[in-house]
């Protein structure tokens, strides 16, 4: 297993590579990441949403099941390679602290990746889920409506704070994945924090690009304006703060010493 200093060194190298990607490569990888996260969200709906008896009699267990099935998305992003906006909120920060990378690399990446994630999530919501009627019947449709209504029922501040919590744990999951040197270890390291943030009920902007549009496509009484104002904007801002302020900055400051790549 890599030490925290080695993890930061690896993160720095990854961020430098990400900053040099062609726009087309970044966009394609971002679309894939949005789809991967959406696959995890769909699996959680099918497994946990398809168990109304457990939800009614043991809500804590239901939340755990929902959280336990969701992480396949981030696992795929890390293992097979893709560009996820929330993970990238922390990747570039250690390099920026040492002025090893221009800040426009980060903002260019964020803009392209956020857009691509949205495309991938919407594709899964409309084409793969809505058009195939996978969640059109009970009890799945009730779960789809309930998730979206819950996510758009909070104040801006509450959703913002929940966004901080979500990406704090997501970025820690990625950090742990980088720390592990084998596939099984990476899967476990990623699964635990992601399971935790989903079971707790925090807000992940990319996952919500699937959950809430899917409910809209399925006829929920939620408008696109409500989606953006009540959830996506505050969740996104919270995710940025969670990744930058609570992972990238502290670990970049504490462990970002002058190091050569491990292979040198």
Condensed to tens digits (0 to 9), the pLDDT of residues 189-204 reads 999 999 999 999 999 9
Quickly state the pLDDT bin for 78 (edges 50, 70, 90): very high
Q: Tell me which H or E stretch contains 51.
A: none
Is residue 262 assigned to a domain? no
Quickly state the pLDDT bin for 25 (edges 50, 70, 90): very high
Q: Give the integer Cα–Cα distance in Å for 54 and 215.
A: 22
Q: Give the integer Cα–Cα distance in Å for 114 and 242.
A: 16
Please choose, from the candidates 255, 167, 178, 164, the residue with its C-alpha nearest in 3D space to the C-alpha of residue 15.
178
What is the average pLDDT across 78-86?
Answer: 97
Mean pLDDT over the full length of the chain: 95
Is residue 264 assigned to a domain? no
Q: Is the pLDDT of residue 83 over 90?
A: yes
pLDDT at residue number 232:
98
Six-digit token string for 154: 């909070």
Q: Is the pLDDT of residue 45 over 50?
A: yes
Contact 189, 180 (CB under 8 A): yes
Quickly state the pLDDT bin for 141 (edges 50, 70, 90): very high
Please choose, from the candidates 235, 108, 94, 244, the residue with its C-alpha nearest in 3D space to the C-alpha of residue 168.
244
Is residue 104 assigned to a domain? yes
Reported pTM? 0.94
Domain that holds residue 230: 4-255
Q: Give the integer Cα–Cα distance in Å for 131 and 5.
A: 47
Q: Give the integer Cα–Cα distance in Å for 189 and 176.
A: 5
- The CATH number of the domain holding residue 159 is 1.20.1080.10
pLDDT at residue number 257:
72
Six-digit token string for 150: 């819950």
Is residue 261 assigned to a domain? no
Quickly state the pLDDT bin for 55 (edges 50, 70, 90): confident
pLDDT at residue number 258:
60
Q: Is the pLDDT of residue 102 over 50?
A: yes
Q: Is the pLDDT of residue 105 over 80?
A: yes
Please choose, from the candidates 14, 7, 1, the residue with its C-alpha nearest in 3D space to the C-alpha of residue 255.
7
Q: Give the integer Cα–Cα distance in Å for 231 and 211.
A: 11
Please choose, from the candidates 142, 148, 163, 166, the residue with its C-alpha nearest in 3D space to the C-alpha of residue 227.
148
How many alpha carbons fall within 13 Å on the CB side of residue 152?
Answer: 24
Select the more confidently predicted residue: 261 or 135. Answer: 135
Q: Is the pLDDT of residue 145 over 80?
A: yes
Six-digit token string for 164: 């901080």
Is residue 260 assigned to a domain? no
Residues 234-257: tens digit of each pLDDT: 999 999 999 999 999 999 999 987
Select the more confidently predicted residue: 156 or 1. Answer: 156
Please choose, from the candidates 175, 199, 157, the residue with its C-alpha nearest in 3D space to the C-alpha of residue 69.
199
Contact 248, 171 (CB under 8 A): yes
Contact 204, 167 (CB under 8 A): yes
**Residue 34 CB: number of other CB atoms within 10 A?**
32
Q: Give the integer Cα–Cα distance in Å for 118 and 85.
A: 10
Q: Is the pLDDT of residue 264 over 70?
A: no
Quickly state the pLDDT bin for 76 (edges 50, 70, 90): very high
Six-digit token string for 217: 């496509």
Is residue 263 assigned to a domain? no
Number of domains in the chain: 1
Neighbouring residues of 229: CB distance < 8 A, sequence distance ≥ 6:
156
Terminal CA-CA length for the chain: 18
Cα angle value 72/83/11 (rounded, 5°): 95
């Amino acid at each position: 297993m890599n030490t925290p200093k080695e993890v930061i060194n690896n993160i720095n190298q990854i961020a430098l590579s990400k900053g040099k990607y062609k726009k087309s490569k970044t966009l394609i990888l971002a679309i894939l990441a949005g789809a991967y996260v959406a696959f995890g969200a769909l699996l959680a709906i099918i497994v946990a949403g398809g168990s109304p008896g457990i939800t009614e009699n043991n809500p804590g267990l239901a939340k755990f099941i929902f959280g336990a099935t969701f992480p396949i998305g981030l696992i795929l992003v890390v293992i097979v390679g893709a560009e996820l906006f929330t993970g990238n909120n922390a990747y570039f920060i250690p390099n920026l602290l040492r002025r090893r990378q221009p800040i426009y690399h980060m903002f260019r990446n964020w803009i392209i990746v956020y857009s691509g994630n949205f495309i991938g999530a919407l594709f899964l919501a409309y084409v793969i889920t809505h058009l195939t009627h996978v969640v059109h019947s009970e009890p799945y449709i009730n779960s789809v409506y309930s998730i979206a209504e819950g996510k758009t029922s909070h104040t801006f501040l509450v959703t913002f704070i929940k966004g901080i919590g979500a990406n704090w744990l997501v970025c820690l999951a990625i950090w742990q994945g980088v720390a592990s040197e084998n596939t099984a270890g990476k899967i476990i390291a990623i699964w635990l924090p992601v399971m935790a943030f989903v079971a707790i009920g925090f807000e992940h902007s990319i996952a919500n690009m699937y959950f809430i549009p899917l409910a809209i496509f399925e006829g929920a009484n939620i408008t696109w304006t409500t989606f953006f104002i009540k959830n996506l904007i505050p969740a996104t801002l919270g995710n940025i703060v969670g990744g930058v302020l609570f992972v990238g900055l502290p670990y970049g400051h504490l462990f970002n010493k002058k190091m050569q790549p491990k292979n040198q």
